[in-house]
Amino acid sequence: MEYRPLGRTGVRLSALGLGTMMFGDRLDEADSVRMVHAALDAGVNLIDTADVYSGGGSERIVGKALKDRRHEAFLATKVRRAMPGDSRPNAEGLSRLHIMQAAEASLSRLGTDYIDLYQVHWADPDTPIEETLRALDDLVRQGKVRYIGCSNFPAWRLARSLWKSDVHGLARFESNQVNFNLLQREVEEEILPLCTEERVSALAFSPLAGGLLTGKYNDGTAPPGSRGEGNESWRGRLAPSNLTFLRGLAGLGQQAGRAMMDLAVGWLLNVPQVASVLAGPSSLEQWEDYLAAAARPLAPDVARAVEVLQRETGAGLPRHSRYL
CA distances from 19 to 35, 45, 145, 270 (A): 11, 11, 19, 20
Q: What is the largest CA-CA distance in the chain?
A: 56
Over the range 308-323, which residues count as b (16 or more CB within 10 Å of their CB) and which as e? Answer: ebbeebebbbeebeeb
Q: Which of 3, 53, 114, 147 is catalytic?
A: 53
Helices (H), 22-93: 29-41, 57-65
Q: How far is the CB of 217 from ligand NAP (least distance, A)?
A: 9
> What is the C-alpha to C-alpha distance for residues 266 and 283, in angstroms, rounded to an integer?
21
Please report whether residue 60 would count as binding ligand NAP according to CB under 6 A: no
Give 73 or 261: the residue with its C-beta nearer to ligand NAP: 261
The verdict on whether 53 is a catalytic residue reads yes
User: Using the rule CB under 6 A, which residue among 177, 184, 310, 313 binds ligand NAP?
Assistant: 177
Closest CA to 244 of 183, 318, 320: 183
Please report whether residue 216 would count as binding ligand NAP according to CB under 6 A: yes
Q: How far is the CB of 287 from ligand NAP (least distance, A)?
A: 8
> What is the C-alpha to C-alpha distance for residues 56 and 34, in angstroms, rounded to an integer?
19
Asked whether 284 and 34 are in contact (CB, 8 A), the reply is yes
User: Using the rule CB under 6 A, which residue among 77, 112, 132, 152 binds ligand NAP?
Assistant: 152
Please report whether residue 93 would count as binding ligand NAP according to CB under 6 A: no
DSSP 4-40: EE-TTSS-EEESEEEE-TTBTTTB-HHHHHHHHHHHH
Among the listed ranges 2-10, 80-88, 166-174, 209-217, the one in contact with ligand NAP (CB under 6 A) is 209-217
Please report whether residue 310 would count as binding ligand NAP according to CB under 6 A: no
Please report whether residue 278 would count as binding ligand NAP according to CB under 6 A: yes
Q: How far is the CB of 169 from ligand NAP (least distance, A)?
A: 27
Rounded to a whole number of angstroms, the CA Rg of the chain reads 19
User: Using the rule CB under 6 A, which residue among 74, 153, 205, 234 binds ligand NAP?
Assistant: 205
Please report whether residue 226 would count as binding ligand NAP according to CB under 6 A: yes
User: Would you please indicate which residues are annotated as catalytic (active-site) residues?
Assistant: 53
Binding site for ligand NAP (CB under 6 A): 19-22, 26, 48, 121, 151-152, 177, 205-211, 214, 216, 226-227, 261, 278-282, 286, 289
